[in-house]
Amino acid sequence: MKNPAITSDLNQLSLCFFIKLVQDQGKHIVVSYAREHSNDMIVEIFPTRTQFTVGNKLFGFTSTNLYDDTWQHLCLTWENTQGVTKLYKDGQFTEQVTNHASKNYALKAGGFLVLGQEQDSIGGRFDREQTLHGRLASVNMWDKVLSESDIAAQYTNCSVPYGSVINWTVFKNLTRGNVAVEEP
């Protein structure tokens, strides 16, 4: 958990990470951010879809299957000019979803960001059923929409540059609960 996680309001973002789901537990929570609502931003992975919520506006993607016990790279981008979110899997564009209700929305600074757990209240009320059963690596977030070539390079090079908003190295020292940090 990191608080405050975001230092300035965001009109656009890119969130990238490597993930390995080791159990089909139904819903997996990758990232949750809460400031004004319990789900100002959340990434949820289900067996047949991935959901990305920004400002309680849902973006649903159906073209991803991540339940194969291998490491995969995901990137989600969002911008508030048109309310467009894109999903990239293993460096390749997979799907775009538009939710006009997110136009002109700004993700407000100052909230709690939690990896692997949904917040049912800001910074708390965690439910065992709303968690991640797997592994995460290189979770980074930027205050811009990354280009397709930048996203492809992250996967190809198997490395993610440090995010301008969220930096993976910060989370190694902020663990709570049943979390193990492994170094290569």
pLDDT reported for residue 172: 63
Torsional sign, CA 175, 38, 78, 143: negative
Q: Which two tokens stand for residue 157?
A: 């090079």
Q: Which two tokens stand for residue 154?
A: 């992250």
Q: DSSP of the chain, one letter per residue?
A: -BSS--SS-BSEEEEEEEEEE-S--S-EEEEEEESSSTTSEEEEE-SS-EEEEETTEEEEE-S----SSS-EEEEEEEETTTTEEEEEETTEEEEEEE-GGGTT--B-SS-EEEESB--SBTTB---TTSB--EEEEEEEEESSPPPHHHHHHHHHHT--PPPSSB-HHHHTT---SS------
What is the mean predicted confidence (pLDDT) over 20-47?
A: 81
Which of 2-11, 16-25, 125-134, 158-167 bottoms out in mean pLDDT, i.e. has the lowest? 125-134
pLDDT in tens, 75-121: 999 999 999 999 999 999 999 999 988 889 999 998 888 888 777 65
At residue 37 the predicted structure's pLDDT band, cuts being 50, 70 and 90, is: low
This prediction's pTM? 0.87
Q: What single letter denotes the amino acid at residue 59?
A: F
CB contact at 8 A, 44 and 27? yes
At residue 184 the predicted structure's pLDDT band, cuts being 50, 70 and 90, is: very low
Cα separation, 174 vs 184, whole angstroms: 19
pLDDT at 63 over 60: yes
